[in-house]
């Protein structure tokens, strides 16, 4: 099947594969570098520190969802459509509008967050040790919002190498800075280590933003400024962006809110399951911040494919190329299934050894093997959501996300509080909700595209 399928690919298919492979390779590199950062950090601060780290980091996703949720995908889709029509003045003006709007919005939201930072760290996160780390996350969110806008441009123009190179640079810088600080300075406690980790994160995001700005300005020089080209008003650009981004923003907000609520709820439910608070943080560090990072590492491949898939499907839809759409959907679904099964087998067989090799700990194998069961359904559910995005089904994604979110919260609250299940309830929740997501997403896909998956 594999050889005959490859021989049937046309030039457009080959271009998609080449760009996907390029992005996958670069994303693997950045993923390895990011994972290396996690390893360095975990060896310095231990499971309790990683548990504390995991309480703060989800807030970053929540902030990005509030400020600019869905913006990168919206920009990539709109830019791809303008480029297909050679309307580069519209590209410029659309980007200027999006950047200005995101800057103003992010500064407003972050300003409110800073004023409430002490109360959030004390009463919401429920650990005042996270105060300075939380404030650094607020600052980094501004940089990430603008960087994601630039990423949308480069993905929309299919120039995937630029964000890839910048991401690699940012991850290298982050590792270098954390190693220098940890080697040169003796930090007092876990709080200091976690704060420094987020300081380095913030510096890395600022550096990325600077490079995105430079490369974006250089890239615009390639296009002629055609004054005869008909452009739109600022409100029209915002309307086009919001038509795509608002349903996605609500979806991302639901997902990130769930992620944040889950992160903050888990230690409380573990305490309800007869763990003391510090032991709960250690368990979270082992299961989520260490073991889950290993098993879900291949998700970066799914993410890379999805990033290219969305503008590619948009382009095919605008050209009414149903054959390409069907082939694309079938190929990415098969890829997700294969990757998930490989991960399952690999970590079930070598979970203990991998935990000892990476973290130098012999108590992670049971968590790694259990989390491996989550890989196939999670990977496939992620790719089905990206397919719906590419097909322009943002409202369907929102509806499905609402259903899944309610189920997730109920399962997490119920299962983790059971002493005999405790942290494994997190994994059971992923498995159950992933299968539900696959079922409802594929049902929606087949309403428009009759595609055979296997």
Q: Are the C-beta atoms of 423 and 287 separated by less than 8 Å?
A: yes
- Provide the pLDDT for residue 6: 40
Q: Which residue has the higher pLDDT, 364 or 260?
A: 364
Q: Quick one: how far is CA 374 from the chain centroid?
A: 17
**The pTM is what?**
0.73
Q: For residues 222 and 291, what is the distance between their CA atoms, to the nearest angstrom?
A: 46
Q: At what angle do helices 322-359 and 365-372 cross, to 10 degrees?
A: 170
Q: Quick one: how far is CA 42 from the chain centroid?
A: 21
- Provide the pLDDT for residue 436: 96
Q: For residues 355 and 291, what is the distance between their CA atoms, to the nearest angstrom?
A: 7
Average pLDDT over the chain, rounded to an integer: 84
Q: Is the confidence at residue 349, as pLDDT, over 90?
A: yes
Convert the pLDDT of each residue in 416-453 to its tens digit: 999 999 999 999 999 999 999 999 998 888 887 776 66
Convert the pLDDT of each residue in 13-29 to its tens digit: 555 566 666 766 777 78
Q: Is the confidence at residue 163, as pLDDT, over 80?
A: yes
Convert the pLDDT of each residue in 33-76 to its tens digit: 888 888 888 887 788 788 888 888 888 888 888 888 888 888 98
- Provide the pLDDT for residue 227: 57
Q: Are the C-beta atoms of 67 and 106 separated by less than 8 Å?
A: yes
Q: Is the confidence at residue 159, as pLDDT, over 90?
A: no
Q: Is the confidence at residue 212, as pLDDT, over 90?
A: yes
Convert the pLDDT of each residue in 369-421 to its tens digit: 999 999 999 999 998 888 888 787 878 888 888 888 889 889 999 999 999 99
Q: Please state, as a whole number, how many other Cβ atoms lie within 10 Å of the Cβ of residue 33.
A: 18
pLDDT bin (cut points 50, 70, 90) of residue 225 is low
């Amino acid at each position: 099947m594999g050889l005959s399928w490859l021989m049937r690919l046309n030039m457009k298919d080959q271009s998609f594969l080449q760009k996907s492979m390029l992005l996958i390779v670069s994303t693997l590199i950045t993923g390895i570098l990011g994972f290396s950062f996690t390893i360095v950090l975990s060896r310095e601060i231990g499971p309790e520190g990683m548990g504390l780290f995991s309480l703060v980091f989800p807030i970053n996703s929540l902030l990005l969802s509030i400020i600019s949720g869905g913006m990168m995908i919206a920009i990539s889709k709109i830019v791809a459509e303008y480029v297909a029509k050679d309307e580069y003045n519209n590209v410029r003006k659309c980007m200027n509008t999006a950047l200005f709007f995101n800057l103003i919005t992010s500064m407003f939201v972050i300003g409110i967050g800073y004023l409430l930072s002490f109360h959030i760290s004390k009463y919401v996160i429920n650990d005042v040790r996270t105060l300075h780390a939380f404030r650094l996350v607020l600052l980094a969110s501004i940089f990430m919002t603008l960087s994601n806008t630039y990423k949308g441009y480069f993905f929309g123009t299919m120039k995937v190498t630029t964000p890839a190179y910048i991401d690699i640079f940012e991850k290298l810088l982050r590792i270098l800075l954390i190693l220098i600080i940890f080697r040169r300075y003796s930090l007092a406690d876990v709080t200091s280590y976690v704060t420094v980790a987020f300081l380095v994160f913030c510096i890395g995001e600022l550096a990325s933003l600077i490079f995105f700005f430079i490369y974006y300005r250089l890239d615009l020089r390639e296009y002629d400024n055609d004054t005869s080209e008909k452009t739109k008003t600022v409100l029209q650009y915002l309307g086009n962006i919001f038509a795509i981004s608002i349903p996605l923003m609500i979806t991302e907000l639901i997902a990130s809110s769930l992620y944040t609520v889950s992160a903050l709820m888990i230690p409380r439910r573990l305490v309800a399951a007869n763990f003391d608070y510090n032991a709960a943080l250690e368990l979270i560090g082992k299961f989520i911040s260490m073991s889950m990072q290993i098993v879900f590492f291949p998700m970066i491949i799914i993410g890379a494919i999805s990033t290219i898939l969305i503008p590619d499907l948009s382009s095919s839809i605008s050209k009414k190329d149903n054959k390409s759409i069907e082939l694309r959907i079938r190929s990415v679904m098969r890829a997700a299934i294969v990757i998930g099964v490989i991960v399952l087998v690999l970590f079930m067989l070598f979970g203990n050894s991998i935990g000892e090799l990476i973290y130098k700990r012999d108590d992670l194998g049971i968590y790694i093997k259990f989390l491996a069961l989550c890989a196939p359904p999670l990977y496939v559910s992620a790719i089905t959501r990206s397919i719906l995005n590419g097909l322009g089904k943002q409202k369907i994604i929102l509806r499905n996300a609402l259903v899944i979110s309610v189920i997730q919260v109920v399962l997490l609250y119920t299962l983790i509080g059971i002493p005999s299940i405790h942290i494994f309830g997190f994994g059971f929740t992923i498995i159950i909700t992933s299968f539900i997501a696959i079922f409802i997403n594929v049902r929606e896909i087949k309403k428009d595209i009759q595609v055979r998956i296997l």
